[in-house]
Structure 1
């Protein structure tokens, strides 16, 4: 089974990302930073937050669904606000999504918030609402259940240092994975955690019996050249049994986001 985790950067590199996803088509795709604007047929809208202005692929969720037609798609919004079509405000939702190939029965799900709750009247002040989602699937080829839980961790304007809210979200993520999983499962926890190696977040997950694969296997970054700020790590993938890992890679080429895809084969 192939599992991919990626922050899709709002679809900014969709012209590269969508063909990449269509070609690789992992059985389970965990995608963060997903935009869903069902009231608009526009391809692009604009996100505005003070001086922070970004193009957003207006229906990024729909775009990915179109290139993965054989996957069950689940969108999990964290907040509802507006994007802009010039001077017109367009209702839009922002969150994460999971895509599961139809050949894998989904035998369990968990969805919830690791920070705050659903923000229905705007994206809110930083640090903003953050959600997580998990699926438990049955892998018939391996005759076992696999649980995969992912989140998009807090973005703190002060940086990626340890904070009490980040520790709290790590515990909630851990608890959501435990709620979803059975003891005999292959367990995967992943996402854009927005923390550095050595963080309290990773310690909390390690104490829960999970092995971190990115730095543990010697990868020196999860960022592409599109990311211009200091700090080369944000994304992590952890498993409960490293013996089940057939292959693990951080994909640097092609550049499909300012984050690298994390690709696990069990």
Structure 2
């Protein structure tokens, strides 16, 4: 089983990302920072937040669905706000999505919030609402159940330091994973956590029996050349049984976002 975890950067590098996932055909794709604007046929809209202006692929979720037609796709919105078509405001949902090959039976799933709650009338003040999604699959080839849970961790304008909100978020993420994981299951937790190595978030997960794969290997970070700020770590992948790993990698090439894909083979 191959699992890819990736922050999609709102589809800013749309062509490269869609081509990559279509070619890779992972069994499970955990994709964060996904845009869903069903009320428009526009390809591109603009996100504006003060000085922060970013092109967004208007129907990023739909585009990835088209690239992975043989998959069950679930979009989990965190909020609905507006993107802009020049001076016209377009309602748009923002969140994360999970894509599961239809060859894998989905035998349980959970969706919830790790920070705040759904906001239908704007993206809200920072740190904003954050959702998470988990699926429990049956790997017929390996004859075992596997749970996979991912989130996009809250962004705090002050930085990636430990905060009570981030600790509470980690406990909620852990609770969501545990709610669909049964005794004997292989459990995977991943996502853009927006924390540094050595954070309380990772400590909470490790205390619960998870091994983090990015920081326990010699990777230089999970960001690529598109990311110009200091702090090269944001994304993490954890498993409750390292012996089940066939291969794990952080891919710096191809560049399909300002985050690197995390690729786990079981």
Place the TM-score, normalised by the shorter chain, in its bin: over 0.9
Give matches, 1:1-266, under 5 Å: 1-266=1-266
Measure the CA separation in 2 of the matches of 1:119 and 1:184: 37
SS in 2 for 1:45: strand
SS in 2 for 1:56: strand
Write the deviation string for residues 133-189 of structure 1: whole angstroms up to 9, x where unpaired. Answer: 000000000000000000000100001000000000000000100001001111000
Q: Displacement, 1:236?
A: 0.1
Superposition TM-score, scaled by structure 2 size = 0.99
Measure the CA separation in 2 of the matches of 1:171 and 1:40: 37
Measure the CA separation in 2 of the matches of 1:109 and 1:160: 29
Q: Displacement, 1:220?
A: 1.4
Measure the CA separation in 1 of the matches of 2:104 and 2:240: 20
Measure the CA separation in 1 of the matches of 2:55 and 2:220: 29
| Structure 2 gap ranges (5+) | none
Q: Return structure 1 stretches of 4+ with deviation > 4 angstroms.
A: none
Write the deviation string for residues 61-117 of structure 1: whole angstroms up to 9, x where unpaired. Answer: 001000000110000000001000011110100000000000000000000000000
Measure the CA separation in 2 of the matches of 1:47 and 1:14: 15
Q: Displacement, 1:215?
A: 1.1
Measure the CA separation in 2 of the matches of 1:153 and 1:183: 27
SS in 2 for 1:148: strand
Measure the CA separation in 2 of the matches of 1:225 and 1:160: 20
How many residues get paired? Answer: 266
Measure the CA separation in 2 of the matches of 1:192 and 1:65: 21
What RMSD, in angstroms, separates the aligned Cα atoms of the two structures?
A: 0.4
Q: Displacement, 1:15?
A: 1.2
